[in-house]
C-alpha cells in the first residue's frame, strides 16, 4: 500500500536533524515549517563568534565525504555539497594522533591514518604480536564500513535485525580475542566519539563510528555557522520556512492524534503532522499526560543519556602555532586499556591570518556544575565563571605541554554541559543524546516512531549521533513516513 506524505509538516528544532529532515521532505514536495527556540537556527552545528573568531560547537571534523561514501551521498542528495567548503585531513598520513601517558610517566602514541588498508597496516606494525586479533577486528570493521557506505541501514528490508547480531559490547569482543591493553586503548577511542563506554558499546556501533572517519576525514574550511547557513539557504530555496524565537511548549493531541502546537509565547499553530527533531525526553514533556500509554512514557523517561562535554576556545599566534592538519587526543587509560578520560586538541586557522584557534574538548565533569544546575545561562554569577576559568586554564596548561608553550594565548570562551543544556535543550547537558549502549539496545530501538498519530522523532537520538548518524536518522524518519517500498522508489542515494 502506498503511504502518502502529508501536505504540510511542522518540525521542532533546527539542528542538522531538523534541517536535513526538512530538506528531504521539501524535495518531496511537502510544505515544511521549522520552529526553533533560539534566535539563530542550526543547533549544535552552528559555531559562535568571540572577538571575531569562530568557536566550534558540534562540528570539529566530518567523516566519509569522499565520492561514493555515506556523507557525500547525503550531502549530494540534500543539495549542499557545493555550498560546504572542506579541507581533506590525513594527506600527511594522520587524521588523529593519540597520545597515551602511562602511570609510570611514559608516553606512547598512535597515528590514525586515512583508509582501512593503511589502518590495518599500522595496527599490524605497531602490535606485531596480535595479528590474529587484528585480523578478526579488521574484518568486522570492513563489514561495518560496507554496510555504512552501502546504506544497508536505510535500504535493508524493514525487519532486518542482522545488526543485532553485532550488538555484543565491543569491550567483550576484545576480551574474547585476548586483546592486550595497548591495542585495546587504540581501539577504545572510537567508542568515546559516540559517548559510550567500551564495555557497553555495541560492536557494530563502534565499528561504524571508526569506519566513518577512517574512510576519509575532512574539516570545514570556514566554520559551523557557514555550514548551518548552507543548510538554511537550501531549505529556503526549496520554499521551506524557518521561524526562530519559537519555543514549542506543548503538542496538542486529541484522541491520540496530533492537532497542533502551542508556543511559549502563547501562540497556537494548527498541525496534523509534527516531527520533533529534539530529545525524546523533551518531546515527552510536551505531550498531554494521557496522550501516550504509561509503558511508552516510562520507557522514554527511563533512558540513560550520554555524558556532557566541557570545551574551551583559545586564540594563539599563528606564527608560533600554525594550524595542525590532524586532531590530537591525549588519553588517560586504565591498566586494562579502557579510556578514563581524554582531552581533544584541534588547532585551526581562522578569519584572522595572525590568529589560529585552539579548541579543547574534554568530558563535562558534570558534578562540578551541580551547584548551578537550577540556574540559566547568563545568570550563573561569578563563582561559576571562576570554576569555568580555572578548568579552562588547567586544560590550557595541558595543551601547552603537548603543543609547546602557548605564550600569550588568549582564552576566548569556555562552555560547560549547562551551556549546552540551555542552548539546545539537551537533558542534563548530554552531548550525544540517548546512550546507545548494548544494555539499552531495546529501549533505544525505533525511537522515531511515537505512540501518537502524526508525531515522529528525528535528530541525533533516533539512530546515532554525529553528522552522519543524525542525517541517517532524518532519512529513516522519512522512510517511516513513506513506507520502505515507496522510500526505495522515491529516494535514491
Interaction of residue 61 with ligand FAD, rule CB under 6 A: yes
Q: Report strand pairing: 274-276 vs 8-12.
A: parallel
Picking from 22, 47, 26, the residue whose alpha carbon sits closest to that of residue 35 is 22
User: Could you identify the residue written with the cell 563489514?
Assistant: 143
Q: Which is nearer to ligand FAD, 454 or 465 (CB)?
A: 465
309 lies in the binding site for ligand FAD (CB under 6 A)? yes
- Please say whether the beta carbons of 61 and 218 come within 8 A: yes
Q: What is the DSSP letter of 67?
A: T
Of 134 and 261, nearer to ligand FAD (C-beta) is 261
Residues pairing with 86 in the sheet: 220
Phi, psi of 162 (to 5 degrees): -60, -25
Instruction: Rank residues 36 and 96 by Cβ distance to ligand FAD and give the closer one.
Output: 36
Single out the residue of 33, 81, 244, 247 in contact with ligand FAD (rule: CB under 6 A): 247
Decide if residue 227 touches ligand FAD (CB under 6 A).
Answer: no
Q: What is the closest distance, in whole angstroms, from the C-beta atom of residue 460 to ligand FAD in the complex?
A: 3
Strand partners, 328: 97, 345
Residue nearest to ligand FAD (CB): 15
Q: Which of residues 117-176 bind ligand FAD (CB under 6 A)?
A: none
Residue 35 near ligand FAD by CB under 6 A: yes
Residue 280 found at the interface with ligand FAD (CB under 6 A) = no
Using CB under 6 A as the binding criterion, the count of chain residues that bind ligand FAD stands at 39
With 0-12 / 13-18 / 19 or more C-beta atoms within 10 angstroms meaning exposed / middle / buried, residue 214 is buried
Q: Does residue 12 interact with ligand FAD by CB under 6 A?
A: yes
Our CB check for ligand FAD shows the closer of 174 and 358 to be 358
- Across 371-380, b (16+ Cβ under 10 Å) vs e yields ebeeeeeeeb
> How far is the C-alpha of 450 from the C-alpha of 11, rounded, in Å?
15
> Do 191 and 209 contact (CB within 8 A), yes or no?
yes
Provide the mask over 181-220, with x wherever binding to ligand FAD is found by CB under 6 A and - wherever it is not: ----------------------------------------
Residue 112 CB neighbours (<10 A): 24
* 474: contact with ligand FAD by CB under 6 A: no
The answer for residues whose C-beta is within 8 angstroms of residue 453's C-beta and 6 or more apart is 256, 257, 258
Rule CB under 6 A: say whether 454 interacts with ligand FAD. no
What does the binding site for ligand FAD look like in residue numbers (CB under 6 A)? 12-18, 35-38, 43-45, 57-62, 247-248, 277-278, 282, 309, 311, 361, 420, 424-425, 431-432, 459-460, 465-467, 470
Amino acid at each position: 500500500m502506498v503511504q502518502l506524505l502529508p501536505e504540510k509538516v511542522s518540525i521542532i528544532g533546527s539542528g542538522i536533524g531538523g534541517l536535513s529532515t526538512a530538506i528531504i521532505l521539501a524535495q518531496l514536495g511537502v510544505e515544511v515549517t521549522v520552529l526553533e527556540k533560539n534566535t539563530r537556527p542550526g543547533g549544535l552545528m552552528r559555531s559562535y563568534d568571540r572577538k571575531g573568531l569562530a568557536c566550534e560547537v558540534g562540528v570539529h571534523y566530518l567523516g566519509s565525504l569522499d565520492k561514493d561514501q555515506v556523507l557525500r551521498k547525503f550531502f549530494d542528495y540534500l543539495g549542499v555539497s557545493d555550498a560546504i567548503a572542506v579541507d581533506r585531513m590525513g594527506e600527511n598520513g594522520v587524521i588523529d594522533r593519540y597520545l597515551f601517558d602511562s602511570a609510570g610517566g611514559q608516553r606512547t602514541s598512535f597515528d590514525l591514518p586515512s583508509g582501512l588498508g593503511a589502518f590495518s597496516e599500522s595496527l599490524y606494525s605497531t602490535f606485531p604480536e596480535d595479528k590474529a586479533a587484528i585480523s578478526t577486528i579488521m574484518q568486522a570493521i570492513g563489514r561495518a564500513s560496507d554496510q555504512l557506505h552501502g546504506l544497508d541501514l536505510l535500504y535493508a528490508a524493514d525487519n532486518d535485525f542482522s545488526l543485532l547480531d553485532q550488538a555484543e559490547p565491543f569491550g567483550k569482543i576484545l576480551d574474547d580475542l585476548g586483546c592486550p591493553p595497548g591495542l585495546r586503548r587504540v581501539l577504545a577511542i572510537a567508542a568515546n566519539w559516540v559517548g559510550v563506554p567500551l564495555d557497553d558499546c555495541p560492536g557494530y556501533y563502534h565499528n561504524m563510528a571508526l569506519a566513518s572517519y577512517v574512510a576519509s576525514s575532512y574539516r570545514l574550511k570556514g566554520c559551523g555557522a557557514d555550514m548551518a547557513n548552507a543548510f538554511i539557504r537550501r531549505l529556503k530555496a526549496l520554499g521551506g520556512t524557518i521561524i526562530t524565537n519559537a519555543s514549542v511548549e506543548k503538542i496538542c493531541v486529541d484522541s491520540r492524534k496530533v492537532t497542533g502546537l502551542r508556543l511559549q509565547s502563547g501562540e497556537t499553530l494548527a498541525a496534523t503532522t509534527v516531527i520533533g527533531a529534539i530529545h525524546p525526553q523533551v518531546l515527552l514533556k510536551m505531550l498531554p499526560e494521557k496522550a501516550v500509554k504509561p509503558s511508552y512514557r516510562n520507557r522514554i523517561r527511563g533512558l540513560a543519556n550520554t555524558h556532557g562535554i566541557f570545551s574551551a576556545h583559545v586564540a594563539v599566534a599563528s606564527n608560533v602555532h600554525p594550524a595542525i592538519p590532524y586532531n590530537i587526543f591525549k588519553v588517560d587509560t586504565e591498566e586494562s586499556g579502557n579510556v578514563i578520560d581524554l582531552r581533544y586538541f584541534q588547532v585551526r586557522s581562522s578569519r584572522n591570518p595572525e590568529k589560529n584557534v585552539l579548541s579543547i574538548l574534554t568530558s563535562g565533569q558534570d558534578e562540578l556544575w551541580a551547584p548551578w544546575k537550577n540556574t540559566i545561562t547568563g545568570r550563573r554569577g561569578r563563582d561559576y565563571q571562576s570554576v569555568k576559568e580555572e578548568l579552562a586554564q588547567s586544560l590550557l596548561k595541558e595543551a601547552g605541554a603537548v603543543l609547546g608553550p602557548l605564550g600569550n594565548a588568549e582564552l576566548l570562551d569556555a562552555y560547560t554541559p549547562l551551556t549546552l543544556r540551555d542552548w539546545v535543550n539537551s537533558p542534563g547537558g548530554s552531548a550525544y543524546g540517548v546512550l546507545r549502549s548494548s544494555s539499552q539496545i531495546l529501549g533505544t530501538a525505533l525511537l522515531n516512531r511515537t505512540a501518537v498519530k502524526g508525531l515522529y522523532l528525528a535528530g541525533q537520538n533516533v539512530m546515532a549521533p554525529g553528522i552522519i548518524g543524525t542525517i541517517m536518522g532524518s532519512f529513516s524518519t522519512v522512510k517511516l513516513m513513506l513506507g520502505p517500498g515507496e522510500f526505495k522508489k522515491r529516494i535514491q542515494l
